[in-house]
Amino acid sequence: MQPSVVFVLGGPGAGKGTQCQRIVQNYGYVHLSAGDLLREERNNPGSKYGELIENYIREGKIVPVEITCSLLEAAMDASGKEKFLIDGFPRNQNNLDGWQKAMAGKVRLQFVLFFDCPLEVCTERCLSRGAGRSDDNMESLRKRFNTYLNETKPIIEHYEDLSLVRRIDATRGVEKVYEDVRRIFEEPNVAGGDK
């Protein structure tokens, strides 16, 4: 059977990771955060990409897709599962092109879940979440937001043109946002078939 994929996008601190954890509990998806996979690879002493990844992350730039896409594919294969939330990817045209080339024929894209949140709210959340990340500081955040606006927004617009975007107002609290998320995952065409 063809695995199905939901891309989860939104600015840094929009709540993608938090909401994905909830979705996993209720709807049997596997959550794959591209950022987490990259950080894991960076921390692996055997990796030849550690330094490159850290530099990209601190500068808020997007790591070349060959690295990210192979981490995602390996994680999908290793899971043995068939429903994936791919969080924080594709973030730019290079990501999208690389994914299309390597993966488009192997999986079915269900939709793109877009957590829409103004930058001021995102900034506040990143600065107060205390995740110990090397990019949750004002200087990196400014760069991440620029990357988001210049590179990721056009990808969301691309999927909007294909009518594949499900937009969520992510400014509210976790519970309220999750109510809207649930509504989407309860739709018969989403929940059905491959639940």
Q: Which is nearer to ligand UDP, 111 or 148 (CB)?
A: 148
CA-CA distances (angstroms) from residue 3 to 73, 83, 105? 11, 6, 10
Q: Which is nearer to Mg ion, 75 or 186 (CB)?
A: 75
Contacts 24+ apart (CB under 8 A), 146-150: 146/60, 147/60, 147/61, 147/62, 147/91, 147/92, 148/11, 148/12, 148/91
Spell out where 15-163 has E strands.
30-33, 83-87, 108-116
Minimal distance in Å, beta carbon 195 to ligand UDP? 27
Choose the one of Mg ion, ligand UDP, none that binds residue 91, judging by a C-beta under 5 to 8 angstroms depending on kind.
ligand UDP
Choose the one of ligand UDP, Mg ion, none that binds residue 15, judging by a C-beta under 5 to 8 angstroms depending on kind.
none
Choose, by CB under 5 A, the member of 13, 15, 17, 60 that binds Mg ion.
Answer: 17
The 3-state DSSP class for residue 44 equals: coil
Cβ atoms of 57 and 40 within 8 Å: the answer is no
Q: Which residue is nearest to ligand UDP (CB)?
A: 35
> Considering only 13-21, 125-133, 146-154, 185-193, which stretch makes contact with Mg ion by CB under 5 A?
13-21
Q: Which is nearer to Mg ion, 171 or 194 (CB)?
A: 171
Q: Considering only residues 37 through 76, tell me which ones interact with Mg ion, judged by CB under 5 A.
A: none
The residues binding Mg ion (CB under 5 A) are 17
